[in-house]
Amino acid sequence: MKDLLAAAAFTLLAAAVFVLTVPFPPGAEGSLSPASYPRLLAASLALLTGLLIVEGRRRKAISAAERTDVAAAVGVVGLTAVYLVAWHRWRFDVPTVLYVAALSRLSGPGRWGSALLFAALVTAFLSVAFGYVLRVPLDGI
């Protein structure tokens, strides 16, 4: 089932490449067009997808009774996305302190004060290293 989902995704990608390359211009005689190489890769993807399904049937199923914390992982991705928007729209320091403090509390209960102090130190280091030493403009990206 796992491999079937991946196979479906790769097949869709290969099909999309063929569709998207239709308007590409033809190449000169004796040379490849801009579409040829991506199509070659897409055809190889489609071929290997078939092999993936065959291989998945031959391989013995391995039980994967592993506990995973999907909500926490989705939370980290969401938090990172919100942080990037805040950094992009506003400034670097305050969103970074809040982001680092929130992430550092992910591992369990703790004091917000200690998390904020740690976050302020990390943010100060990043600001000095990137903003001051390397002269990277961190605000208003």
Residues forming the site for other proteins (CB under 8 A): 2-3, 5-6, 10, 13, 17, 20-21, 24-25, 27, 29-32, 34, 37-38, 41-42, 44-45, 48-49, 51-52, 55, 58-60, 66-70, 72-73, 76-77, 80-81, 83-84, 87-88, 96, 99-101, 103-108, 110, 118-119, 122-123, 126, 129-130, 134, 136-138, 141
CA distances from 84 to 1, 78, 88, 104, 134 (A): 35, 10, 6, 17, 21
Note the Cα 64 to chain centre separation in Å.
24
Whole-number minimum distance, CB 32 to other proteins, in Å?
5
CB of 104 to other proteins, least distance (A): 4
Distance CA 3, CA 1 (A): 5
| Residues 88 and 141 sit within 8 Å (Cβ to Cβ) | yes
* CB 94, min distance to other proteins, A: 13
